[in-house]
Amino acid sequence: MLRKQQKLTQIELADKIHYSDKAVSKWERGESMPDVSVFKTIAELFGVTIDFLVTPHEDAEVAKEQTSYAQSVKKKNRLIINFITIFSIIVIEAIIFSALRFTAVVSDFWQNFLFCFVCPLPLIGLIEVIFSSLWAKKIARFIAVSAFVWSLFIEAIIIIYVAMDRFFWQLLLVGLLAQVIVVLSFNLHRLKKIIDKRE
Q: Are 148 and 122 in contact (CB under 8 A)?
A: yes
Q: What angle do CA 69, 59, 5 make, to 5 degrees?
A: 55
Count CB neighbours of 40 within 10 A: 14
Q: Are 155 and 122 in contact (CB under 8 A)?
A: yes
Q: Residue 10: pLDDT above 70?
A: yes
pLDDT digits (tens, 9 = 90+) for 138-164: 888 888 999 999 988 888 888 888 778
| Residue-level length of the chain | 199
Percent of the chain whose predicted confidence (pLDDT) is above 70: 84
Q: Residue 186: pLDDT above 70?
A: yes
Percent of the chain whose predicted confidence (pLDDT) is above 90: 7
Helix residue ranges, H only, the chain: 2-5, 10-17, 21-29, 36-46, 50-54, 59-103, 109-113, 121-135, 138-164, 170-186, 188-198
Between 96 and 136, whose confidence is greater?
96
- Predicted local distance difference test score (pLDDT) of residue 84: 93
pLDDT digits (tens, 9 = 90+) for 43-85: 888 877 787 777 776 666 665 655 566 667 677 888 898 899 9
pLDDT range class, residue 7, cuts 50, 70, 90? confident
Count CB neighbours of 124 within 10 A: 17
Is the Cα dihedral 69, 70, 73, 78 positive or negative?
A: negative
Between 153 and 196, whose confidence is greater?
153
pTM (predicted TM-score): 0.54
Q: Please list, in sequence order, all residues whose beta carbon lies within 8 angstroms of the beta carbon of residue 133, skipping any fewer than 6 positions away.
A: 141, 144
Q: Residue 88: pLDDT above 70?
A: yes
- Predicted local distance difference test score (pLDDT) of residue 174: 87
Compute CA 12 distance to the chain's CA centroid, rounded to the nearest angstrom: 30
Supply the angle between the helices 170-186 and 188-198 in degrees, to the nearest 10: 50
Q: Are 145 and 129 in contact (CB under 8 A)?
A: yes
Question: HSE (CB half, 13 Å, CA atoms) of 12?
Answer: 7
- Predicted local distance difference test score (pLDDT) of residue 182: 87
Please give the average per-residue pLDDT across 10-18, as a whole number. 89
Q: Are 132 and 144 in contact (CB under 8 A)?
A: yes
